[in-house]
Structure 1
């Protein structure tokens, strides 16, 4: 949802308006904004590639970028409550666009169990749930989140801003298997990984163009034309990915954390379950055991690790099985940031999944 832009920011005539300084949270959002801005400017990134948005503590340079921002475009507090508090405290008069709350955003219910039930019913665009937010999708999920991983994040990055964390990933917890548990939080009834729905990303391009056009009316036409071109690129990427993944629809996969539901829903994939919940909380031994048994019983094709998280948990669910292990990254750490990032992310995920299914 876009907070009203303060008049003081835009008193100048559209003929002399400056391109706004834009800050984004994660690389997929930065890529979408970059594609709309085109040659007019480059949005800054708050969560560097290789870090997890679930628990990233801002470095001093990232905090300064936030302080200087005219517009902040991010997923929302459902994904990164710590960053949300920093936006409120540091961004000052900046306008804020929380994509999770945009009217065009379609949501899926958060999943709690280690194993998933599947009921794909895709329309022509491959998305089962339309393009409007807050609809009742009848997933028959129990949203009574009574988990030990519910924690208050008020302590999260406040103690870290005095230290420069540049070049350091806050997401790697190799020295402590339970570090994620210290940062875990309940995302609530709706899955926050909304950027992995191409339908959402496509719709957001128009919302981002409107926000930039409001801030910079002189270049409104360029922003909207860029958004239309980027929408066509997403359409092409989805068509290619659908063809790639066609042979993988009968395969069964296990993912590291439950971040891919929107991608699964779009392309009709059969993900058996996830090692970690969608908020990246450390799994219980019982959850690992349940997944290990399911892998053995169903003949799962592949277990996907993630570069942001401890790979030793993969060993815990694959021990004693012959299931293949590959890497999947919902944030596209290995991809080149900037315009074109989002179609590349869709293609990268499709390629990694199809390659593992085919091996």
Structure 2
């Protein structure tokens, strides 16, 4: 009988702990690269739900009933913004008022680049001047100065680890705001994530240094941030947007560019597998490879972002290093 108060106290403590865990916010994330960053910061607290699963692309995604249900039950929703996940615009207008919608393209400290037009990109000024060209002094850069009405910039922002750091800081802030009880864990996880992003950045610079002057063609123009950060030589894209297939004139222009460049690489993407690749490379010495900027072939996890970025660097180095 004397043990009863002790048992009651233990039960009360267990119930309190369960209640505290249940208080973690219900978080929904649009795409895999961002989901990875959110999952890393939420480790030990909870797991965010992902909308664009499998090999699907946000450019062509159609919402399912389960996705709509997840949004209705969410406390916190992370997405890039209107220029990336257009399919989410109307569903987000219908979410309950309790849900906080975080548009990460508005995060402070982002480096933004304007969209490019045309199939062939003009070469940039030689960057062998000893400067670290982070894009801050580029006339293509669009700086986040607090004006969230900026239009016309490329929204593949996560392909620069420095932008991923800016995302991580905003994700941490919003999670702490939504769940102050778990603030120490979010802050510790975010600090570790930022440390790993800095190490990744150094690693990728070393990986790509031997091939950064070798030109290549990509399926769609998704790689500006990666290109600017690591000074790799993207010479053009088959299409600006994967929703719009190119016409004969553009294909001819890209084919001529591939021919003029000599032995180079043309990269497809697993989500689209374009037959156009064969047309573009026909009669040239160009090699082919695959790049996966939206991590369609990867399973969601806190480490996915790092696998994505290392995968891009490895694919580039492997193809560009091969002998003609």
2:269 aligns with one of 301, 306, 309: 306
For 1:206, the equivalent position in structure 2 comes to: 169
Give 1 or 2 for the bigger CA radius of gyration.
2
Is 1:110 aligned with 2:115? Answer: yes
Quick one: distance in 2 between partners of 1:123 and 1:210? 35
Is 1:321 aligned with 2:267? Answer: no
Work out the number of aligned pairs and report it: 294
For 1:53, the equivalent position in structure 2 comes to: 58
Structure 2's unaligned 5+ residue stretches are 1-18, 143-149
Quick one: distance in 2 between partners of 1:313 and 1:90? 40
CA RMSD of aligned residues (A): 2.2
For 2:140, the equivalent position in structure 1 comes to: 139
Aligned 1:119-198 pairs, distance under 5 A: 119=124, 127-129=134-136, 137-139=138-140, 189-198=152-161
Quick one: distance in 2 between partners of 1:84 and 1:104? 24
- Contact 2:263-2:284 within 8 A present in 1 as well: no
- Contact 2:111-2:141 within 8 A present in 1 as well: no
SS of the equivalent of 2:238 reads strand
Is 1:71 aligned with 2:34? Answer: no
Quick one: distance in 1 between partners of 2:317 and 2:83? 30
1:308 deviation in Å?
0.9
1:38 aligns with one of 34, 43, 61: 43
Quick one: distance in 2 between partners of 1:244 and 1:321? 27
For 2:90, the equivalent position in structure 1 comes to: 85
Quick one: distance in 1 between partners of 2:54 and 2:242? 18
SS of the equivalent of 2:135 reads coil
- Structure 1, residues 312-355: CA drift from partner, whole Å, max 9, x if none? 01112111112100100001223231211112211111011001
- Structure 1, residues 216-239: CA drift from partner, whole Å, max 9, x if none? 001111101101101111111121
Aligned 1:270-281 pairs, distance under 5 A: 270-278=233-241, 280-281=243-244
1:97 deviation in Å?
0.8
- Contact 1:253-1:303 within 8 A present in 2 as well: yes
What is the TM-score with the length of structure 2 in the denominator? 0.85
1:37 deviation in Å?
0.4
- Ranked by relative contact order (alpha carbons within 8 Å, sequence separation 6 or more), the top structure is 1
Quick one: distance in 1 between partners of 2:132 and 2:139? 20
Quick one: distance in 2 between partners of 1:188 and 1:317? 31
Quick one: distance in 2 between partners of 1:75 and 1:238? 21
Task: Say which is worse superposed, 59-68 or 117-126, in terms of deviation.
Answer: 117-126
Aligned 1:209-248 pairs, distance under 5 A: 209-248=172-211
SS of the equivalent of 2:120 reads coil
1:297 aligns with one of 257, 260, 279: 260
- Contact 2:263-2:285 within 8 A present in 1 as well: no
- Contact 1:234-1:342 within 8 A present in 2 as well: no
- Contact 2:30-2:51 within 8 A present in 1 as well: yes
1:129 deviation in Å?
2.3
